[in-house]
Amino acid sequence: MRFLYVMDPMCAWCYGFQPELEQFLNMHPHIKMDWVVGGLAPDTNQPMAQSLRETIASYWYQIEDRTQVTFNHDFWSSNTPYRSTYQACRAIIAAESLSENSAQSMAKAIQSAYYQQAKNPSLGHTLAACAEAIGLDTQAFLDRLASNQTESEFQRHLGVAQQLQVSGFPALFFINSENRAFPLALGFCQAAELAQRFGQIQDIE
């Protein structure tokens, strides 16, 4: 039995969901959780269109209204944003491969850099700083980030997300002893809702 969490570290709703997720996981410390990065936006070096910047910036205010998190809105004036999250996803895989069970720490470091410190996780130096912040060797991390091994694992993650028919993030599943997947969250929800759904699944089981 395990939980499986499909997310993207540059998904603002995943950032908003993180406190709820942690509260729920603290209720079930003996159940392992696998992190799957689903890849919100492919690689690009083209700056984000102004209209998209304004749309995403408006989402941040909506998420603040609904969740426990806050955003550093200076990001939009102090950076050149890119609609490109794949490298941040690879960073989580690279971190996990260098230090087991570091996926959550790396995801939170990226979220902190992006949403609280107004740094740009589409850029390699930001991701390297996140890796250093969680105790990884910077050069080893950059080497692993650029490796074929990481790219292959990232493609596997994308395949898992597709197999589970995940169309948006965050998405949390319970995988039972027969390897059947039960959705606990398909989009933002609160810890109490996760607990209720998990209880219903356990009753069925």
**pLDDT of 147 above 70:** yes
Structural domain boundaries in the chain: 2-204
pLDDT at position 204: 72
Q: What is the pTM of this model?
A: 0.96
Mean predicted confidence (pLDDT) in 163-174 = 96
**Mean pLDDT of all residues in 174-182:** 95
On average, the pLDDT of the chain sits at: 97
Determine the CATH number of domain 2-204. Answer: 3.40.30.10
**Is the pLDDT confidence value at 74 over 70?**
yes
Structural tokens at position 196: 């209720």
- 205 falls in which pLDDT band (50, 70, 90)? low
Q: 76 exposed, middle or buried (CB, 10 Å; 0-12, 13-18, 19+)? A: middle
91-142 pLDDT, tens digit per residue, is 999 999 999 999 999 999 999 999 999 999 999 999 999 999 999 999 999 9
Paired tokens of 82: 């890119």
Q: Is the pLDDT at 144 greater than 80, yes or no?
A: yes
Helix-helix angle 12-26:191-204, to 10 degrees: 60
